[in-house]
Structure 1
Amino acid sequence: MHSTENDLKSVSRRRFAGLGAGVLAGGLAGCTGNAAGPAANGGSAGTDGDENDGEYTVVASFFTFYDFADTLSEGTALNVENLVPTGLHGHGWEPDPSIQRRITDADALVHVGPDFQPWVDRAIDTLEAEATETALINARADVELLDLADSLTEDEAVEDAKDPHFWLDPQRAKIAVANIADGLAAIDPDNEATIRENADALDAELDALDEEWTATFNAAERDVAFLAAHNAFAYLAERYDATIEPLVVNLAASNDVRPADMQRAQDTIAANDIRHIGAAVFEPIRPAKQLLEQTDVEAYFPVTPYAGTAQSWVDRGWGYFDIAREVNLPTFRILLGIDDPEDVSFADYGRNFEP
């Protein structure tokens, strides 16, 4: 079994009685898990309600790890829910008190470790103060993190100036899968074999995605990819020995684009004769439009660090792998000069998309 730092407390075997028929005081933020079927689970295709009665409720604080947990729970007595509303980043959100109640009443919380989501840190403090039975599953345990670049601030750093966006690297993401599988198996030991089988399948899919990213960067015709986004893609750059330049050098997705950021972007675009850039789906689109107007950039295309999900993606049942293959990989193939943008189609959020 993978060794983790997960804090697995004694777990109640009660059903989540406070969440009848998807209704909770204050309303449901995010999506229900695999017991609700693929259209509602925000990503991976789950089992039908008749097959999974949701004996245990697991809530997740971040889309990527919600999606992994939901896939791991297929065929078990676990019902996984995403706490973060559709269209929002999980680390730039301030929930209302109903979210704390959902966490307190759940059998387990899947989170991304300390320092990354302040609202989750506060929720965990509340759990500890109230001595609740909610188990804590740290998806980040035992993951080797990258140091922050010298130009970055520590505002969004974790673990003594480390970059938290490790899940963009498929190989590091496999460690998170193991962490979550360990936690879920402790909650639903009767279905541990199923959880482990699901983990093996997820690992194989992450290996396949790793090969696709490797092939993409190996085929690159350009040395620099530019993103009108915050600095969330360093793990891709490190894994595939690539240069990915962000517009905003800090780690936080915010509205704060300084004049110095725009000047650096314009200089990078001119120096590398860049015609196509990426723009973050869940971040302000104005800077990308400004670069379109003030530089030789001809178009921007969608990228996302898997920090949230769009309603159209939920409707299609897209999870981490679908978003990688339908959004990020096609855009990077354009940015790296592999594919002609005229030959690439997106389901939505395509060329010069509007939020």
Structure 2
Amino acid sequence: MKKNMIALMMLFSICIVLTAGCVDEQNSSAGISDSDSGGMIVAVSVLPQAEFVEKIAGDSVKVIVMVPPGADPHSYEPTPGQLRDLSNAKLYAMVGSGITIEDNMIGKIADLNPEMVIIDCSEGITMSEMEAHAHEDEDEHDVEDEHDAEDEHGEETGMDPHIWTSPANVKLMVENIYGGLVELDPENEATYFENKNAYLAELDALDEQIKTTLSGKEGSSFMVYHPAWGYFAEHYGLVQVPVELEGKEPSVRDMQNIIDEANEKNIKVIFVQSGFSTVSASAIANEIGGEVVEVDPLAKDYIDNLAKVAEAFEKGLA
């Protein structure tokens, strides 16, 4: 009996160790891209950046992505496994545009990995202000109502952090990443340079493809739940109409004004992204006889994804 008990306890202990190992492996691998080939570790904040790095460096790097698929960069907190991976990184390519995960981490990074080179991918990019609620008719309510609206939605909206939704901005991000890679690994500068230029050519081709897709649609409006597509809209001459701002659901009055605006502009599609509530978007779609369509600003396969997003927008433009 005693021997059986000892055997069971040993088996139980082994199971605990194996289970803990599996959990830790899952937490760690959630932040590492598929190109885990054991090279120099480069950390990025969002998935599209992983493609930018890998297009330049190829298999010579291992990429850590701090915001995994389906997570919200405005609220996500890195796991202990991701932070451990980050402590071994040689380079961190920050988006640099003010996404929450970077703002929350920037004070900890120096202590976590003081030898890591940090680059700002937004360097050289002209930032735009975040889309504000434009649904309230200011002539219809008094100063007190305006003050309430400021309390609800925030007086200052800040700058739009979603700089990667414009191929023109991505070209500058790629140049900044290239500079960081060369600084750390000058021996491979020629390879990085050739790869970078090849990817810039892909981005130029994507830009022309999207312009063709959206030809004749300049000035048209599209409605989104979360205003992640401001730079895309600006680059292609479109108007983004947001439902929410800074994670806040629209008020009852906002909802009615959004519905009125959609009807006025003949908008029949509300674009949403994974990780955000679709309740308000679905309610608006029901009222306007429209539909809810998902588009992803955080997909890793940047070239293919943005081409598909452009096609979706073209069908939903008013």
TM range (shorter): 0.7 to 0.9
Q: 1:67 aligns with which of 34, 48, 51?
A: 51
Equivalent residues of 1:148, 1:163 under 8 A apart? yes
SS in 2 for 1:270: helix
Report the alpha carbon displacement of residue 292 of structure 1 after superposing the two structures with TM: 2.6
Partner in structure 1 of residue 160 of structure 2? 163
Counterpart CA distance in 2 for 1:155 and 1:178 is 31
Partner in structure 2 of residue 332 of structure 1? 313
Structure 2 CA distance for partners of 1:107 and 1:156, relative to 1, 3 Å: farther
Q: 1:178 aligns with which of 175, 178, 183?
A: 175
Report the alpha carbon displacement of residue 237 of structure 1 after superposing the two structures with TM: 2.0
Partner in structure 2 of residue 195 of structure 1? 192
**Matched residues, percent identical?**
26
Q: How does 1:49-68 map to 2 (within 5 A)?
A: 49=37, 54-68=38-52
Counterpart CA distance in 1 for 2:94 and 2:200 is 20
Equivalent residues of 2:64, 2:85 under 8 A apart? no
Partner in structure 2 of residue 139 of structure 1? 121
SS in 2 for 1:281: coil
Counterpart CA distance in 1 for 2:119 and 2:47 is 15
- Gap runs ≥5 in structure 1: 1-20, 37-48, 310-317, 338-355
Report the alpha carbon displacement of residue 221 of structure 1 after superposing the two structures with TM: 9.1
Report the alpha carbon displacement of residue 271 of structure 1 after superposing the two structures with TM: 0.6
Kindly indicate which of the two structures has a greater share of residues assigned to helix: 2
SS in 1 for 2:212: helix
Partner in structure 2 of residue 35 of structure 1? 35
Structure 2 CA distance for partners of 1:187 and 1:147, relative to 1, 3 Å: same
Report the alpha carbon displacement of residue 130 of structure 1 after superposing the two structures with TM: 5.6
Structure 2 CA distance for partners of 1:78 and 1:235, relative to 1, 3 Å: same
Partner in structure 1 of residue 239 of structure 2? 243
Report the alpha carbon displacement of residue 25 of structure 1 after superposing the two structures with TM: 6.8
Question: Does residue 290 of structure 1 match 2:283?
Answer: yes
Report the alpha carbon displacement of residue 155 of structure 1 after superposing the two structures with TM: 6.6
Report the alpha carbon displacement of residue 24 of structure 1 after superposing the two structures with TM: 4.9
Equivalent residues of 2:41, 2:91 under 8 A apart? yes
Report the alpha carbon displacement of residue 323 of structure 1 after superposing the two structures with TM: 1.4
Report the alpha carbon displacement of residue 30 of structure 1 after superposing the two structures with TM: 2.9
Counterpart CA distance in 2 for 1:172 and 1:226 is 22
Report the alpha carbon displacement of residue 278 of structure 1 after superposing the two structures with TM: 2.0
- Gap runs ≥5 in structure 2: 1-20, 134-152
Counterpart CA distance in 2 for 1:179 and 1:291 is 41
Counterpart CA distance in 1 for 2:262 and 2:287 is 11
Counterpart residue type for residue 53 of structure 2:
A
Q: 1:305 aligns with which of 297, 307, 310?
A: 297
Equivalent residues of 1:270, 1:295 under 8 A apart? yes
Counterpart CA distance in 2 for 1:154 and 1:200 is 42
SS in 1 for 2:283: helix
CA deviation profile, 1:279-320 (whole Å, cap 9, x unmatched): 2233212222212322222x22222322xx4xxxxxxxx611
Counterpart CA distance in 2 for 1:287 and 1:239 is 27
Q: How does 1:122-133 map to 2 (within 5 A)?
A: 122-129=104-111, 132-133=114-115
Equivalent residues of 1:59, 1:80 under 8 A apart? yes
Counterpart CA distance in 1 for 2:30 and 2:188 is 26
Report the alpha carbon displacement of residue 31 of structure 1 after superposing the two structures with TM: 4.7
Report the alpha carbon displacement of residue 177 of structure 1 after superposing the two structures with TM: 0.4
Partner in structure 2 of residue 115 of structure 1? 98
SS in 1 for 2:180: helix
Partner in structure 1 of residue 69 of structure 2? 86
Counterpart CA distance in 1 for 2:188 and 2:34 is 15
Counterpart residue type for residue 268 of structure 2:
R
Question: Does residue 234 of structure 1 match 2:230?
Answer: yes
Q: TM-score, normalised by structure 2?
A: 0.77
Structure 2 CA distance for partners of 1:149 and 1:69, relative to 1, 3 Å: same
Structure 2 CA distance for partners of 1:130 and 1:185, relative to 1, 3 Å: same
Equivalent residues of 2:41, 2:61 under 8 A apart? yes
RCO higher in structure (CA 8 A, sep ≥6): 1
Q: 1:281 aligns with which of 270, 274, 283?
A: 274
CA deviation profile, 1:172-194 (whole Å, cap 9, x unmatched): 11000000111112222222211
SS in 2 for 1:244: strand
Structure 2 CA distance for partners of 1:26 and 1:273, relative to 1, 3 Å: closer
Structure 2 CA distance for partners of 1:64 and 1:261, relative to 1, 3 Å: farther
Count, aligned residues: 279
